[in-house]
Amino acid sequence: MTVTVTRTFPVTPKTMYYMLTNEDGLAYWFADRVYTRPQVGGHVVHTWATGRYVAGVFTELKENEFISLTWRDASKDTGSVLSYRLVEVDGGTQVTLTQEGLPADVKLADYQQRWEDGFDTLYAALTTGEDARITEIILIGIYPDEFTEKALERLGVPVKDGLLVAGAIPNLGAEKAGIKAGDVVVEANGKPVTNNAPLNINFAGLKPGDSAPVTFYRGAEKHTVTLVLSGYPLPPMASSYTELADRLTGDYARLYEEISSIFANLSDETTNTPPAKDEWSMNQILAHLILTERNNQEFLGGLVQAPEIHTYSGNAPARVNAVVKSYGGTAGLLNELKRAYAECVELVRAFEDEKFDRPYILWWTNFQFGDVTGGHSRTHINQLQQTLATVTK
């Protein structure tokens, strides 16, 4: 039993070889995390957040031309051989993927579709730069609750199976369709909804912008509405590193002004005082923000050079406290935060001259820095304000 997929990608064989053998390259289109040692006899391990993993060994490597490896999917307990043949053609590289030795009882269509989907994601990464695994995520916008006998009695719904809505996320499809806390969803996209199955399974195969009927009970009344699936919120896309760096310059300036104004006329005694045991002082929050920017810099460095950084240590007490002690008080910490912001901007700006042949570098840089004044920063600005209110009352 054999599966074959052929696709032409608008990049050089060298870039394709990287994307098919390097652990960071593979993680941009196939698995969530990948570990490889690209030499004959070297290991290959692909892992997913779902718990699935695939392991194998490189058996033949001809740089920029041919790759062969063993392939054992732990969830299927089947062994096969996977190979990629790379041929330079006008405008790019033709890649022929072959998976041989699949057992007779597998569904070849499932394997075929998996590789087709993977190559679609790879093509997007090497053209527009986007990660289709993010841009094609669907968001329903429902916080689920436990559907117990007590809830059944309280709500007065005439069903015992369904998804109890704890709340609807603002501005997403469920809220816009009129679904509210206390509703019990019993059918979605023409399929029944059960207590113990994720609702997104019902929408498999759909993409952001698609719509589907959803039926729910509100008390004893049955309602059917059309739910439009939302996509993952993405920052506005910059067309170049220079454009992104210019945008970051203004964003970071506004962010620094807001943060530094919170510290105006405060003593180091105040900014070093935690609001409670095992909670951060204002200076420790500053240290965390500095470490976040350092992490951003390491992310960018790993993105272009590999290997990427996969762990974040900006919450580790030892690192946070070391930064607090190293800068001699609030003034030093604020200066270091400002410098860290400036370094991130200049690092992004420097990318303009690198002529990367992997568009996903710009896409992921934009994704990482698209909302520096919101999200993580906004959470800690609120934390700073709450901490100040607590230690000065």
pLDDT at 77: 57
Q: What is the pLDDT of residues 171-208, one digit of tens each?
A: 999 999 999 999 999 999 999 998 877 888 899 889 99
CA 272 – CA 289 distance, rounded (Å): 15
What's this model's pTM, rounded to 2 decimal places? 0.80
Largest CA distance in the chain: 75
CA 5 – CA 111 distance, rounded (Å): 10
Residue 313 tokens read as 């240590």
The SS3 of residue 9 is strand
pLDDT tier at 236 (50, 70, 90 boundaries)? very high
pLDDT tier at 274 (50, 70, 90 boundaries)? very high
Helices (H), the chain: 13-21, 23-27, 108-127, 132-135, 149-155, 173-176, 241-262, 268-271, 282-305, 317-326, 330-350, 360-369, 375-391
User: Has residue 130 got a pLDDT over 60?
Assistant: yes
Instruction: Kindly give the interhelix angle for 360-369 and 282-305, rounded to the nearest 10 degrees.
Output: 170
Question: What does DSSP say about strands 53-62 and 66-73: parallel, antiparallel, or unpaired?
Answer: antiparallel
pLDDT at 386: 97
Q: Which amino acid is at 145?
A: D
Q: What number is the average pLDDT over the span 47-74?
A: 93
Residues 6+ apart with CB under 8 A from 156: 219, 220
Q: What are phi and psi of 385, to 5 degrees?
A: -65, -40
Q: What are phi and psi of 81, to 5 degrees?
A: -125, 130
Q: Cα torsion at 126, 127, 131, 135 (round to 10°)?
A: -170
Q: What is the mean pLDDT of the chain?
A: 93
pLDDT tier at 333 (50, 70, 90 boundaries)? very high
Of the chain, the percentage scoring pLDDT greater than 70 comes to 99
Q: What number is the average pLDDT over the span 73-85?
A: 83
Residue 142 tokens read as 């429902």
pLDDT at 76: 66
pLDDT at 193: 94
CA 58 – CA 37 distance, rounded (Å): 8
Domains and CATH numbers, the chain: 2-135 (3.30.530.20), 138-231 (2.30.42.10), 241-391 (1.20.120.450)
The SS3 of residue 362 is helix
